[in-house]
Copies of this chain bind each other. A is one copy, B any other.
């Protein structure tokens, strides 16, 4: 069974770069990667906050949060 990974972003240049170079680099045979644009899918901001996301871009793998560089604080997206 694949591990769930969610990449949260907000369309910012830092986010897009991380999506193309980090999220896309994950091993698709082991990870089921979902890309969530919080600017478009604002209803997912609660999920991101609950997972521990403080800023985007962020990658949630299983129950662990990895903030990758810094594009925008989650609080600025709400």
A21 touches B64 (CB 8 A): yes
Within 8 A of B (CB), among A1-53: 5, 17-18, 21-22, 25-31
Task: Count residues of A near B (Cβ-Cβ below 8 Å).
Answer: 21
B-chain residues with CB within 8 Å of residue A17 when the two chains form the complex: 64
Contact (Cβ within 8 A) B25 A28? no
CB distance from A51 to the nearest CB of B (A): 14
Evaluate contact between B59 and A22: CB separation under 8 angstroms.
yes
Chain B residue with minimal CB distance to A14? Answer: B66
- On chain B, the residues within 8 Å of A25 by CB distance are 5, 26-27, 30-31, 61
Residue of B with least CB distance to A26:
B25
In whole Å, how far is A78's beta carbon from the nearest beta carbon of chain B? 22
